[in-house]
Structure 1
Amino acid sequence: MTVYGYIRTSRQRIEGTPGSDPEAQAYQLRQDDVPEANVYRDVGVSGGTGTNSRAGWRALDARLQTGDTLVVVAADRIGRSWLNTVNTIRDLRTRGVRIRSLAPDETTWVSWLESDPDSPEAFIADILTSLMAWTADQERQAASRRTKAGLEKAVAEGKTLGPPRKVNEDQVEEMARLKRAGLSYRTIGRRMVPNVSGDTVMRKLRERQG
Structure 2
Amino acid sequence: MGHEEPNAVTAQKLNWLRAGVLGANDGIVSVASLVVGVAGATSDTGAIATAGTAALVGGAVSMALGEYVSVSSQRDSERHMIRIESAELREDPEGELAELVDMLQERGISPATARTAAREMSEHDALAAHLEVELGIDQHDLVSPWGAAASSALAFTLGALLPLVAMLATGPTWRIPVTVVAVLMALALTGSVAASIGGGPRARAAVRLVLGGAMALGLTYAIGSALGTAGVA
Please indicate, yes or no, whether the TM-score normalized by the shorter chain is above 0.5. no
Q: State the TM-score, normalizing by the size of structure 2.
A: 0.25
Q: State the TM-score, normalizing by the size of structure 1.
A: 0.27
Q: Which structure dedicates a bigger proportion of its chain to strand?
A: 1
Higher relative contact order (CA 8 A, sep 6+): 2
Q: Which structure dedicates a bigger proportion of its chain to helix?
A: 2
